[in-house]
Amino acid sequence: MLTHRCHRWVIFIVFLNMALVPTIARAATTLFSLNMQLLAPVIISGVSSLSLAGSTTRQGGGSVTTDTQLTGVFSAAGTADMAVVGSIVEPYVVLTRAGAGVDSGGVVRIDSFALSGDMNKTGLANFPATGALDNLQVGAAIHASNPNVNGLYQGSATFRLVHW
């Protein structure tokens, strides 16, 4: 009787010991968060070209800045609430008079651009909740020199929007 009862107690103690071992913390876990923004591609559309034609006359070789209303206008689609920075890729652009060569009388150089509209003057803009910017304005100043003659000068520049 004694042996039997004692034996049961030993078994109880052994199982209790085994049961306690896993309950004492030797490890811990915690959930942690992961996140990432996958952006919609920015799509730029030209609404109106930057045109200085008819508004600019040579003034003794000085620079002439376009009227704000004559700037080129772009629209863009992208990710809502994301910031972008607009810029002109080229540091300067040369406009060539139709039918003329590249002699000094047939080219006009645009050596600075101005950003406005939905962008501030540094080019920073934020896509609204609609994900659409429709008034990205780019102005320019041209440098006409004495040899330039009347005519239509044309060229192209590259407007770039980069997620900020």
Residues that bind another protein (CB under 8 A): 1-2, 5-6, 9-10, 13, 16-17, 20-21, 24-41, 79, 163
Question: Tokens representing 75?
Answer: 């629209």
What's the closest the beta carbon of residue 81 comes to another protein, in angstroms?
Answer: 10
93 Cβ neighbours under 8 A, 6+ residues apart: 109, 110, 140, 155, 156, 157
Strand order in the sheet with 83-88: 124-126, 83-88, 159-163
Between 127 and 153, name the residue whose CB sits nearer to another protein.
Answer: 127
Cβ 44 to another protein shortest distance, Å = 14
- For residue 128, the minimal CB distance to another protein (Å) is 16
Give the nearer residue to another protein in terms of CB position, either 15 or 92: 15
- Cβ proximity to another protein: between 40 and 47 the closer is 40
Cα–Cα dist 116/51, whole Å: 16
